């Protein structure tokens, strides 16, 4: 997962191939042809709507480009983000990259499937 | 019961490690209160009125004796506030004053330490553990596969079930394998960790609903269709709180192997559509009410896409179902029923006192079992001197021992805040009764008035408007006569200290709700609520009987309601039957007449 720091990352979309999505939008209504980056926004880290958007983009729609988390993005949410199909996150300015890496490394596998590993553990193990 | 695999054990250890990392950053000032809060909540850590509170997950209520011993150790060694915290708490509670009873006695707050509390969602809580020891407690819990994962926070909470799951005589199928599979699926679900609001699932496999499923965000009932295929009736959008709602059936029959895929659809639509602008309108019940059929259609469409486009990845395989089910094979226990009958008869013929008490215990605390050689025994944690559902460290240790000697090492927390020993041999009932009585856990009051549900209320909880526990004690003290209690018969008395309804007042035949007026404690009384079990009838919230009462009046109001029932009842009628037959008016009048003449200001002075 690409971790970007708020004060170094260009948080503004740079070209027409980037899509910025409000967190109440249904990604299934979009045309994704030619889109290489989609920014999903967390107005607060406790607002989980963008998690479902990412899942739908990555898993349901098979979108292959970058999915970037923006807004109130904290290190403790990174394990969720990466499993839901985000592959880039712009961390809030006060977040510590070393702590972030530690959170991402902790759990090696999970019970349920997700956007990246679609099948649950009980099917993988079988 | 379910035996943890290496993976399960390691998972819980990693969770404890993750929590320690978060706690240390918080204590070092690197993780602010607002950011730490949802993280600690999703591990069961609240910060309450006087001290932190820990809610330990007990998946569908099942505990091993080894786990009970660790809970005892936590009660003994960690549920101990510093002197300053404790003295501050006592001073704060004393300011709330005593409840003055008619007989001149007064009941106030009585804060105790070193104990565990059983909740209506089959979990276990501790009230006094200092936050800086919280990670140590999580490590200790992890040694026996326990944790506080998702016992709070806006996520899928610990899943509850019938306390008689797998042993009830009216069961269609054992719900525990499905409850366990759902537990695993919902544990650290990455997409559903920050829902609009908390999300509670209850599951039953019996014909009678003993799990109050219609009062949950999702209620699941196992049944067989005409072809004999096992499936679920799926209810969505029930809940208590300030807007009590009975869940809507959105699927009459869902093949049982689709339950994870379908629940994913239910929760995904809620995560996308649920309101986040107002926490009182954020539960799924509000969404289901507001959107009605549109919500149901969207769930069905989402389910279709999960199956057709995603390939139904969480379809429960036969192999997984068998693997999990193998954990729930009943222990092979038999008994000599002739000798059991002889022993029981011997006690019943012995001293008159034993005769009556043992007979009542057999009637109230002993339930039928799928295995005719076995019985389920409820240990009553409703007795004078201890709050409903409270157990000391010594009592927990004693329960662990009883479970080992009489119940295959297993005990269950019930929705009514008691413990059940699920595997008791008939020929050991007499010995178990003697020991339980010695421990003060054989009160033959299960299902009766004093077997009341009460939340911790204003003695501990930061949300409460009023205290629950002194009222519970006042009513328990007034109804100590077992003859009277048995004559009053089965009745659900539920007490909540605030509208969040943790004491399930909405579903009580009599409900008491703490409300705040001008900073004083007042109580609204309702009658006619139902949790959905056969005795109570179709689930429905109770109706308020009038303006709220002062704490001093409440015991007299309850007495007036019970006296009205006794005056009006016909042969064999329970309280709830009489209430339904004659209507609530006579009860309302009786309640109003029980108001004190002294006036409210005088009464609360």
* Candidates 2.40.110.10, 3.90.480.20, 3.90.380.10, 2.40.100.10; CATH matching B337-438: 3.90.480.20
Nearest CA in chain B to A72: B35
pLDDT higher than threshold 60 for residue A11: no
In total, the C-beta contacts within 8 angstroms joining chain A to chain B are 102
Please count the CA atoms within 13 angstroms of the CA of B250 that sit on its side-chain side. 29
Cβ distance B185 to A123 less than 8 Å, yes or no, reads no
Residue of B190, B196, B258, B301 to mutate when probing chain A, most A C-beta within 10 A: B190
Nearest CA in chain B to A55: B191
Task: Sort B153 into a burial class: Cβ within 10 Å, 0-12 / 13-18 / 19+.
Answer: buried
Nearest CA in chain B to A57: B310
What's the pLDDT at B574? 98
In the sheet that holds A66-71, the strands lie side by side as A2-5, A88-91, A66-71, A37-42, A18-21
Taking Cα atoms as reference points, which of B295, B305, B232 lies closest to residue B266?
B295
CA distance B313 to chain A (A): 5
Distance CA B400, CA B70 (A): 10
What's the pLDDT at B177? 98
B318 CB-near residues (< 8 Å, 6+ apart): none
Query: Each residue of A27-43: pLDDT tens digit?
Result: 999 999 999 999 999 99
What's the pLDDT at B335? 78
ipTM, interface predicted TM-score of the complex: 0.96
CB B374, CB B424: distance < 8 Å: yes
Beta bridge partners of B62: B412
List the 272-311 stretch of B: residues with Cβ below 8 A of A.
272, 276, 305, 309-311
What's the pLDDT at A6? 80
Which among B17, B188, B319 has the least Cβ separation from residue A126? B319
Distance CA B521, CA B181 (A): 43
Domain B168-328 listed as CATH 3.30.413.10: yes
CATH of the domain at A9: 3.20.20.70
CA distance A109 to chain B (A): 9
Higher-pLDDT residue of A7, A69: A69
CA distance B307 to chain A (A): 11
Contacts of B31 in chain A (CB under 8 A): 76
Is any Cβ of chain A less than 8 angstroms from the Cβ of B37?
no
Query: Each residue of B314-356: pLDDT tens digit?
Result: 999 999 999 999 999 998 877 777 777 777 777 666 655 677 8
Q: Where are the domains of chain B?
A: 6-142, 168-328, 337-438, 453-604
What's the pLDDT at B355? 74
- Ranges in chain B, pLDDT < 70: 347-353, 598-605
Taking Cα atoms as reference points, which of A59, A58, A41, A37 lies closest to residue A50?
A41
Distance CA A48, CA A51 (A): 6
What's the pLDDT at B334? 72
Cβ distance A76 to B305 less than 8 Å, yes or no, reads no
Beta bridge partners of B126: B54
List the 464-493 stretch of B: residues with Cβ below 8 A of A.
none
What's the pLDDT at B351? 58
What's the pLDDT at B602? 38
Cβ distance A119 to B313 less than 8 Å, yes or no, reads yes
What's the pLDDT at B601? 46
Range of the domain at A41: 2-125
Which among B25, B39, B190 has the least Cβ separation from residue A83? B190
Cβ distance A84 to B323 less than 8 Å, yes or no, reads no
Common-topology check for domains B337-438 and B453-604: no
What's the pLDDT at A126? 62
What's the pLDDT at B128? 97
Contacts of A109 in chain B (CB under 8 A): 7
Nearest CA in chain B to A26: B272
Distance CA B192, CA B268 (A): 8
Q: How many domains does chain A fold into?
A: 1
Contacts of B313 in chain A (CB under 8 A): 113, 118-120, 123
Helix (H, G, I), strand (E, B), or coil: what is residue B573?
coil
Contacts of B287 in chain A (CB under 8 A): none
Contacts of B317 in chain A (CB under 8 A): 122-123, 126
Beta bridge partners of B223: B231
Beta bridge partners of A91: A5
CA distance A52 to chain B (A): 6
Contacts of B182 in chain A (CB under 8 A): none
Beta bridge partners of B107: B99
Indicate the pairing of strand B493-496 with strand B510-517: parallel
What's the pLDDT at A9? 65
What's the pLDDT at B342? 77
Counting every residue written for chain B, the total comes to 605
**Residue B171 DSSP label:** B
List the 19-48 stretch of A: residues with Cβ below 8 A of B.
24, 26, 45-48
CB B71, CB B57: distance < 8 Å: no
Contacts of B11 in chain A (CB under 8 A): 107, 111
Contacts of B260 in chain A (CB under 8 A): 112, 120
Which among B25, B31, B185 has the least Cβ separation from residue A111? B185
Cβ distance B272 to A49 less than 8 Å, yes or no, reads yes
DSSP states of chain A? -EEEETTTS--S--STTEEEE-TTS-GGGS--TT--EEEEEESSTT-THHHHHHHIIIIIS---SEEEEEES--GGGHHHHHHTT--EEEE-TT--HHHHHHHHHS----SS--SSS-S-HHHHH-
Beta strands in B474-519 (DSSP E): 493-496, 510-517
Is any Cβ of chain A less than 8 angstroms from the Cβ of B355?
no
CATH code given to domain B453-604 = 3.30.413.10
Is any Cβ of chain B less than 8 angstroms from the Cβ of A123?
yes
List the 3-22 stretch of A: residues with Cβ below 8 A of B.
none
Is any Cβ of chain B less than 8 angstroms from the Cβ of A101?
no
Distance CA B603, CA B605 (A): 6
Cβ distance A51 to B38 less than 8 Å, yes or no, reads no
Contacts of B188 in chain A (CB under 8 A): 107, 110-111
List the 537-576 stretch of B: residues with Cβ below 8 A of A.
none
Q: Report residue B374 as tokens.
A: 């076995």
Contacts of A46 in chain B (CB under 8 A): 38, 154, 194
Beta bridge partners of A70: A41
Contacts 24+ apart (CB under 8 A), B103-111: B105/B477, B107/B470, B107/B473, B107/B474, B107/B477, B108/B470, B109/B459, B109/B467, B109/B469, B109/B470, B110/B469, B110/B470, B110/B473, B111/B50, B111/B86, B111/B459
Cβ distance B320 to A126 less than 8 Å, yes or no, reads yes
Is any Cβ of chain B less than 8 angstroms from the Cβ of A96?
yes
Contacts of B276 in chain A (CB under 8 A): 47, 49
Q: Which residue has the tokens 């003994």?
A: B76
Q: Which residue has the tokens 């919280």?
A: B134
Element (H, E) at B394: helix B393-406
Is any Cβ of chain A less than 8 angstroms from the Cβ of B159?
no
Indicate the pairing of strand A37-42 with strand A18-21: parallel
């Amino acid at each position: 997962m690409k971790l970007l720091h708020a004060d170094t990352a260009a948080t503004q979309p740079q070209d027409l191939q980037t899509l910025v999505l409000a967190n109440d939008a249904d990604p299934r209504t979009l045309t994704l042809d030619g889109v290489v980056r989609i920014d999903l926004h967390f107005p607060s880290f406790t607002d989980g709507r963008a998690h479902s958007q990412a899942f739908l983009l990555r898993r349901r729609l098979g979108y292959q480009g970058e999915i970037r988390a923006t807004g109130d993005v904290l290190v403790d949410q990174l394990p969720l983000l990466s499993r839901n199909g985000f592959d880039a996150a712009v961390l809030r300015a006060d977040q510590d990259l070393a702590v972030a890496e530690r959170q991402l490394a902790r759990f090696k596998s999970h019970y349920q499937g997700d956007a990246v590993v679609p099948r649950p553990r009980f099917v993988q193990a079988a | 019961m379910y035996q943890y695999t290496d993976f399960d054990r390691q998972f819980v250890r990693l969770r404890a490690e993750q929590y320690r990392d978060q706690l240390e950053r918080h204590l070092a000032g690197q993780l602010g209160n607002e950011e730490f809060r949802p993280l600690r909540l999703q591990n069961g850590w609240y910060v309450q009125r006087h001290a932190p509170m820990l809610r330990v997950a007990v998946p569908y209520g099942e505990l091993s004796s080894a786990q009970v011993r660790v809970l005892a150790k936590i009660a003994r060694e960690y549920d101990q506030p510093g002197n300053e915290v404790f003295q501050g708490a006592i001073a704060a509670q004393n300011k709330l004053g005593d409840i003055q009873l008619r007989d001149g006695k007064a009941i106030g707050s009585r804060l105790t330490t070193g104990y565990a509390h059983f909740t209506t969602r089959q979990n276990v809580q501790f009230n006094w553990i200092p936050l800086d020891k919280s990670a140590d407690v999580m490590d200790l819990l992890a040694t026996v596969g326990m944790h506080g994962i998702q016992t709070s926070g806006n996520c899928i909470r610990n899943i509850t079930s019938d306390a008689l799951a797998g042993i009830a005589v009216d069961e269609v199928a054992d719900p525990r394998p499905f409850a366990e599979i759902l537990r695993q699926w919902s544990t650290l679900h990455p997409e559903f960790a920050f829902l609009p609001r908390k999300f509670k699932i209850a599951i039953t496999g019996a014909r009678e609903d003993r799990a109050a499923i219609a009062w949950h965000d999702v209620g699941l009932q196992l049944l067989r269709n005409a072809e004999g295929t096992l499936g679920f009736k799926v209810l969505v959008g029930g809940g208590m709180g300030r807007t009590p709602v009975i869940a809507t059936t959105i699927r009459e029959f869902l093949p049982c192997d689709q339950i994870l895929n379908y629940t994913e659809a239910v929760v995904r639509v809620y995560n996308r559509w649920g309101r986040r602008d107002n926490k009182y309108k954020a539960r799924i019940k509000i969404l289901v009410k507001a959107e009605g059929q549109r919500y149901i259609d969207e769930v069905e469409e989402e389910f279709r896409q999960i199956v057709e486009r995603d390939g139904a990845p969480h379809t429960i395989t036969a192999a997984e179902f068998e693997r999990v089910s193998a954990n729930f094979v009943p222990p092979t226990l038999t008994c000599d029923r002739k000798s059991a009958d002889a022993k029981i008869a011997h006690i019943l013929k012995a001293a008159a006192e034993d005769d009556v008490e043992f007979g009542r215990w057999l009637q109230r605390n002993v339930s039928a079992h799928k295995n005719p050689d076995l019985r389920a025994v409820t240990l009553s944690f409703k007795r004078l001197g201890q709050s409903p559902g409270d157990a000391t460290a010594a009592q927990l240790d004693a329960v662990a021992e009883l479970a080992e000697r009489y119940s295959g090492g297993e005990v269950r927390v019930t929705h009514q805040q008691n413990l059940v020993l699920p595997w008791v041999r008939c020929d050991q009932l007499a010995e178990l009764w003697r020991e339980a009585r010695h421990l003060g856990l054989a009160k033959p009051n299960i299902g009766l008035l004093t077997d009341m549900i009460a939340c911790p209320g204003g003695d501990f909880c930061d949300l409460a408007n009023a205290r629950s526990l002194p009222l519970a004690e006042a009513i328990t003290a007034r109804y100590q006569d077992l003859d009277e209690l048995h004559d009053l018969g089965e009745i659900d008395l539920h007490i909540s200290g605030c509208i969040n309804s943790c004491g399930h007042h909405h579903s009580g035949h009599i409900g008491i709700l703490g409300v705040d007026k001008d900073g004083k404690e007042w109580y609204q009384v309702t009658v006619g609520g139902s949790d959905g079990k056969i005795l109570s009838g179709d689930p429905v919230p109770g109706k308020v009987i009038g303006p709220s009462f002062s704490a001093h009046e409440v015991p007299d109001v309850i007495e007036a309601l019970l006296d009205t029932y006794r005056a009006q009842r016909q042969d064999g009628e329970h309280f709830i039957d009489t209430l339904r037959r004659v209507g609530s008016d006579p009860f309302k009048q009786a309640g109003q007449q029980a108001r004190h003449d002294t006036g409210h200001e005088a009464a609360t002075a």
